[in-house]
């Protein structure tokens, strides 16, 4: 009884290890690739930066408006480049994830084809036992070939990606900081205008205007607070991606 249970456990173990078609390292690489949507926060903030003029415009004097209009033209042009920064990184991460993909490594479907291909011919002398033995062998061979190929390919890409990924992430982080500082000035122009004009209103005659101005002031304060939080989050996302990439690169076995 005990012996049979032992065999059962051994059998289960064999099945489980057989099913685990990928190494933990490839799973880590896939987890890293799955982070690529987090670059979206950078994209969102770049687009917000692009629209700075639109938000400031109602609060500007004609002279300030003319200056901002000129600045806006330069900003639009620069933002086309700023947005592009993430595209290369995104493509890199996603393709790396595909390369480390479970299905890349897993030839189970093919192995099943081998099995069912034979089973389709019941009159042949091959019985199920042979089929399973053959399928098992194919599985081993397939894994022996594609496994190391995949690991090597992933390591090569990671090794060469180290520096460019670092540089692009650094630039993105710098831009996030500059967006943040620009947003600070925008906030102070918008809210500052309300703040310095409200005291000149007559509480009786301008009651409606006063109410609208104060409510706008509150709304704007909430908006800028939210954007500040988003910027912090976007920066943390970039930090997390950098850390994961660095950890993966550090685990690369040295080239033989």
Partner 1 sequence: MANPTQQAQIEALADHLSANADALHQRLMRAIRKPSADGALPGISQGVAQALFENEVALRQRANGLYLEAGVLAASGLGPQQQQLLDLTERAKEKIEKIDRLKDLVDLAAELLTLGAAVAAGKPDQLLKPLEKLKQHIEAL
Distance from C-alpha of 189 to C-alpha of 168, rounded to nearest angstrom = 31
* Contact window for partner 1 (CB under 8 A) among 6-14, 37-45, 158-166, 220-228: 158-166
When binding is defined by CB under 8 A, the residue of 3, 16, 199, 253 that contacts partner 1 is 199
Per-residue interface string for the shown chain with partner 1, residues 16-55, x marking contact by CB under 8 A: ------------------------------------x---
DSSP states along 3-33: HHHHHHHHHHHHHHHHH--S-HHHHHHHHHH
Residue 54 CA, chain-centre distance (Å), reads 29
Distance from C-alpha of 56 to C-alpha of 255, rounded to nearest angstrom = 55
Distance from C-alpha of 15 to C-alpha of 89, rounded to nearest angstrom = 38
Q: Does 156 bind partner 1 (CB under 8 A)?
A: yes
* Contact window for partner 1 (CB under 8 A) among 68-76, 205-213, 225-233, 234-242: 68-76
Distance from C-alpha of 242 to C-alpha of 166, rounded to nearest angstrom = 7
Q: Does 123 bind partner 1 (CB under 8 A)?
A: yes
Q: Does 104 bind partner 1 (CB under 8 A)?
A: yes
Q: How many CB atoms lie within 10 A of CB 194?
A: 16
Give the gyration radius of the chain's Cα atoms: 30
User: What ranges in 60-127 are assigned the alpha helix state H?
Assistant: 62-99, 102-105, 108-119
Q: Does 167 bind partner 1 (CB under 8 A)?
A: yes
Q: How many CB atoms lie within 10 A of CB 20?
A: 10
* Cβ nearer to partner 1, comparing 184 with 219: 184
The helix/strand/coil state of 178 is helix
Give, as ranges, the residues between 73 and 92 that touch partner 1 (CB under 8 A).
Answer: 74-75, 78, 81-82, 84-85, 88-89, 91-92
* Cβ nearer to partner 1, comparing 12 with 126: 126
* Contact window for partner 1 (CB under 8 A) among 149-157, 209-217, 219-227, 244-252: 149-157
When binding is defined by CB under 8 A, the residue of 8, 10, 20, 149 that contacts partner 1 is 149
When binding is defined by CB under 8 A, the residue of 18, 58, 148, 192 that contacts partner 1 is 192
Residue 94 CA, chain-centre distance (Å), reads 9
Q: Does 69 bind partner 1 (CB under 8 A)?
A: no
Q: Does 200 bind partner 1 (CB under 8 A)?
A: yes
């Amino acid at each position: 009884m005990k012996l049979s249970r032992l065999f059962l456990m051994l059998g289960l173990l064999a099945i489980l290890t057989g099913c685990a078609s990928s190494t933990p390292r490839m799973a880590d690489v896939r987890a890293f690739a799955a982070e690529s949507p987090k670059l979206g926060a950078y994209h969102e903030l770049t687009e917000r930066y692009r629209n700075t003029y639109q938000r400031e415009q109602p609060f500007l004097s004609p002279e300030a408006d003319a200056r901002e209009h000129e600045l806006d033209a330069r900003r639009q042009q620069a933002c086309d480049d700023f947005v592009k920064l993430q595209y290369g990184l995104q493509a890199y991460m996603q393709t790396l994830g595909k390369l480390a993909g479970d299905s890349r490594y897993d030839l189970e479907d093919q192995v099943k084809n081998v099995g069912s291909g034979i089973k389709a011919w019941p009159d042949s002398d091959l019985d199920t036992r042979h089929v399973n033995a053959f399928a098992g062998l194919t599985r081993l061979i397939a894994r022996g070939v594609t496994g190391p190929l995949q690991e090597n390919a992933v390591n090569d890409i990671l090794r060469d990606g180290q520096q460019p990924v670092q540089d692009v992430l650094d630039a993105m982080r710098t831009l996030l900081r500059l967006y943040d500082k620009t947003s600070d000035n925008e906030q102070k122009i918008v809210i500052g205008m309300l703040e310095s004009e409200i005291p000149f209103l007559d509480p009786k005659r301008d009651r409606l205007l006063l109410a609208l101005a104060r409510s706008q002031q509150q709304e704007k304060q909430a908006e800028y607070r939210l954007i500040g939080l988003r910027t912090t989050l976007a920066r943390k996302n970039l930090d997390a991606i950098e850390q994961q990439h660095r950890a993966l690169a550090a685990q690369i076995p040295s080239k033989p």
